[in-house]
Amino acid sequence: MNNKKWTNEEIDFLIENYKTGGLTATEISKKIDRTIQAIRLKAFELNLNSDQYKRKFYLNEDFFAQINNADKAYILGFWYADGCISSNVFDIVQKKEDDYLLLKIKSAMEYAGPLREITNKNCGNIYSRLTIGSKKIVNDLKKLGATEKKSLAAEYPQIKDEYFSHFVRGYFDGDGSVFYEKKNGKTHIKINITGGEPMLSHIKDEFAKRFKIDLNLYPVRRSKGCFILQAFGKKAVLFLNEIYKPIKNKETDFYLLRKYEKYKPFDLS
């Protein structure tokens, strides 16, 4: 029997998910490593079985019902690359240094709950985690094409053309990288995006059609179904120009700062 004291984070998770989040006691027990009996007892103590109970932390549960602005498109792209859903829980984990972005996402979703801090026991790295229990959020993401297990078969969602660059910027901030390489004594910029072929092929085709930018796509060795979309030098700069244009035009402020800072010295626009 587990007699360890309940932490505030465990209690918050239980309150947020036991009833309004749509999780069963069994599912919650797996999430926080508590017995089912302990979950039900604590829920009884907190009066979570009462029909009077309401969600502890406010949330705009219709956030993903329509992707009708740039910030939603960015967050959707970021989640597609770096998030997951499981058992009616929406989840994104980021390095502690990037938690400002999770705070912005939390604010956009009007979620009043806290970020949670987790530590990798193997390397000691600290991460911030945004975990939201909501059956409505999860179902709306599924309607957009999301699956409970992150899939390399995921396809580009059905959203308006005007939000393409915002979605790609989010996806790039989640699963992309930007770095420098020296060639012939000169420093060049290079970008990679890792993912499945359906998603990356769509991005590649759209950049060729919309912006006349030819990106390279190739499979990752010894990683079935995994591909890399890549650009080097001027093509990389042109790619970054397009996804960061809304930032420079002050249309939105959703972006990962450390990647943008690497791009700025090469900005041709």
Q: What confidence tens digit (pLDDT) does each residue in 67-99 have?
A: 999 999 999 999 999 999 987 889 999 999 999
- pLDDT, mean over the chain: 89
C-beta separation of 167 from 159 below 8 A: yes
C-beta neighbour count of 128 within 10 angstroms: 21
Structural fold of domain 172-266: Endonuclease I-creI (3.10.28)
The pLDDT assigned to 267 comes to 85
**pLDDT above 80 (res 56):** no
Beta pairing class for 226-232 and 126-133: unpaired
The β-bridge partners of 216 are 230
Q: Are 57 and 112 in contact (CB under 8 A)?
A: yes
Distances (CA, A) of 168 to 176, 203, 260: 10, 8, 14
Q: What was the pLDDT predicted at 52?
A: 44
Residue 28: the pLDDT is: 85
Contact between 205 and 161 under an 8 Å Cβ cutoff? The reply is no
DSSP readout, 215-231? -EEEEPTTSTTEEEEEE
Euclidean distance between CA atoms 203 and 165, whole angstroms: 10
Looking at the DSSP bridge assignments, the partners of residue 187 are 182
204 compared with 158, residue with greater pLDDT = 204
| 217-236 exposure pattern, b = at least 16 Cβ within 10 A, e = fewer | eeeeeeeeeebbbbbbeebb
Tell me: the pLDDT tens digits for 180-228?
998 888 999 999 999 999 999 999 999 999 999 999 999 998 888 899 9
The structure tokens listed for 88 are 């009616």
Q: 148 falls in which pLDDT band (50, 70, 90)?
A: confident
pLDDT for residue 219: 94
Domain ranges of the chain: 1-56, 70-151, 172-266
DSSP 179: E
DSSP string over 159-185: --GGGHHHHHHHHHHHHEEEEEEEETT
> 70-151: what CATH class?
alpha beta
In this model, does residue 50 exceed pLDDT 60?
A: no
What DSSP string runs through 14-47?
A: HHHHSSTT---HHHHHHHHT--HHHHHHHHHHTT
Q: Is the confidence at residue 53, as pLDDT, over 80?
A: no
Same fold, 70-151 and 172-266: yes
